[in-house]
């Protein structure tokens, strides 16, 4: 069985909210999928010690260099994560294989949005008529957290 997630992260990869704001944000996200034909298996939040890759799972199939616009390939990112000892990073600068430029990982172009963060709210297997959060809901979540957010749709 596969799982789908809506993963919500701050737009600044190093930013973290207070624990109170995180709990309020998770409760708000849960409320978006309860009632009116919606449901969600689990909504949780997590703090990370270092900037962590928040991927889109099977949704991502291509990475393109922000510098030279050539295809990088998913294996490169996977190798980078393995060489790093996991999905968390001290810094996001990496030398890309296509043109040997040093490019921040969050500036590369991914065919499905991914991100890097020290905090996330995730909703597991959410269902409702409109799957993604809309701009009003994202703005409310940003207000609760105290920082703008990005939305990553993941499938595993």
Digit-coded pLDDT (tens) for 88-110 = 999 999 999 999 999 999 999 99
Looking at domain 1-58+112-156, which CATH architecture does it have?
A: 2-Layer Sandwich (3.30)
Which of the 8 DSSP states describes residue 114?
-
Of 3, 60, 17, 20, the residue nearest 149 (C-alpha)? 17
Domain regions of the chain by residue span: 1-58+112-156, 61-111
- Average pLDDT for residues 45-72, to the nearest whole number? 97
pTM more than 0.75: yes
Q: Is the CB of residue 3 less than 8 Å from the CB of residue 125? A: yes
**Pairing of β 63-64 and β 115-124:** unpaired
Of 114, 108, 120, 126, the residue nearest 25 (C-alpha)? 120
pLDDT band at 1 (very low <50, low <70, confident <90, very high): confident
Of 111, 98, 103, the residue nearest 71 (C-alpha)? 98
d(CA 69, CA 29): 36
Tokens of 28: 């708000």
Instruction: Tell me what pLDDT residue 128 has.
Output: 86
- Give 16-31 pLDDT, tens digit per residue: 999 999 999 999 999 9
């Amino acid at each position: 069985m596969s799982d789908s997630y809506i993963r919500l992260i701050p737009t600044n990869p190093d930013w973290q909210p207070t624990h109170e704001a995180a709990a309020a944000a998770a409760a708000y996200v849960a409320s978006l999928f309860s009632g009116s034909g919606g449901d969600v298996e689990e909504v949780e939040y997590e703090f990370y010690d270092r900037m962590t890759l928040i991927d889109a799972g099977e949704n991502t199939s291509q990475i393109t260099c922000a510098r030279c616009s050539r295809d990088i390939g998913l294996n490169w990112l996977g190798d980078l994560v393995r060489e790093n000892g996991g999905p968390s990073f001290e810094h996001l600068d990496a030398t890309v294989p296509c043109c040997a430029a040093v490019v921040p990982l969050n500036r590369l172009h991914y065919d499905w949005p991914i991100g890097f963060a020290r905090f996330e709210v995730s909703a597991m297997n959410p269902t409702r008529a409109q799957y993604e959060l809309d701009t009003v809901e994202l703005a409310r979540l940003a207000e609760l957290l105290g920082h703008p957010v990005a939305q990553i749709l993941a499938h595993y």
